[in-house]
Amino acid sequence: MTDFKKIFLLGVGFTDAKEQQVLEYIATGLQKNEEKYYVVTPNPELLVIANKDLRYKTILNNAELALIDGIGVVMALWLIGKGFKQRLAGVDLMESLCKYVSKQPITVGFLGGGVGVAELTAECLIKKYPGLRVGLISKEWDESLEDKKVDILFVAFGSPKQEIWISENLKNLPVKTAIGVGGAFDLASGKVPRAPKFLRGLGLEWLFRLTVQPWRIKRQLSLIKFVYLVFKEKFNRK
């Protein structure tokens, strides 16, 4: 297990580390051939699910690394008076990690997304980071992939499906580290436009995504429940 400090919000522990520390930890662990583990990037929606599903909360807390994803989590931590080093969204983690390992003998794989999206994601990342070794690309997992050994597997099944699938199958997968990245393939491949950097810096990426994917409004409704739970935790502390 890591020596990183954990910050708890609604019963879920987040890894308090900067991006560079996370990248070094993952890459170094692969070289040491340590035990398998998985990484999660909880956002407000996942915390709401975990609040009513103890099994799912346990899955999040059993992750080796749980990274802050979403401005909602950031604001909630500020509200309850907990400082943290850095927010690291799933798509940013995937891109940074691919760049970091592109000069190392480390192989990555892409699993999930829509038809052809995993392939397009791999193509885009290889173009951006020459030298990146890709050993597995697939929309779904089946027995034919069991000989496709990779060090890091990015899984984009969407939450909570991807975290549950990883926790149940990791021990039997030919991978060392699995990372749930949600809709990161759509963004990295360019299938879905990403918010400009200045909007991301203002914490408004969620609003931009809502304009290009209006169907996400149903998911945003969970924010109401999230806000209620955060204020409840804040006042219970007092």
Burial code (b: 16+ CB inside 10 Å, e: under 16) for 26-62 equals bbebbeeeeeebbbbbbbbbbbbbbbeeeebbebbbe
Cα 51 to Cα 192: distance, rounded to the nearest angstrom: 30
- Residue 205 has a pLDDT of 72
Contact between 174 and 150 (Cβ < 8 Å): yes
pTM tops 0.85: yes
The CB-side HSE value for 67 (13 A sphere, CA atoms) comes to 25
- Residue 123 has a pLDDT of 97
Residue 111 or 196, more confident: 111
Packing angle, helices 71-79 and 222-237, rounded to 10? 20
Residue found by looking up tokens 């804040």 in the block: 234
Q: Does residue 142 register a pLDDT over 70?
A: yes
Q: Does residue 68 register a pLDDT over 60?
A: yes
Task: Give Cα 135 to chain centroid, integer Å.
Answer: 20
- For β-strands 175-180 and 37-40, DSSP reports them as parallel
- Residue 128 has a pLDDT of 96
Q: Does residue 45 register a pLDDT over 70?
A: yes
Question: Which 3-state string (H, E, C) describes 59-89?
Answer: HHHCCCEECCCCHHHHHHHHHCCCCCCCCCC
Task: Say which residues have a Cβ less than 8 Å from residue 207's Cβ, sequence separation at least 6.
Answer: 199
Q: Does residue 214 register a pLDDT over 80?
A: no
Domain boundaries, the chain: 5-139+152-232
CA distance from start to end of the chain: 32
Banded model confidence at residue 221, pLDDT cuts 50, 70, 90: confident
- Residue 153 has a pLDDT of 97
Banded model confidence at residue 236, pLDDT cuts 50, 70, 90: confident
- High-pLDDT (> 90) share of the chain, %: 69
- Residue 42 has a pLDDT of 95
Q: Does residue 217 register a pLDDT over 70?
A: no
Beta bridge pairs of residue 9: 12
List, for residues 196-212, the tens digit of each pLDDT value: 776 777 676 766 666 77
Residue found by looking up tokens 């597995």 in the block: 136
Banded model confidence at residue 71, pLDDT cuts 50, 70, 90: confident
Packing angle, helices 54-61 and 161-169, rounded to 10? 60
- Average pLDDT for 167-196: 90
Task: Say which residues have a Cβ less than 8 Å from residue 142's Cβ, sequence separation at least 6.
Answer: none
Cα 155 to Cα 152: distance, rounded to the nearest angstrom: 10
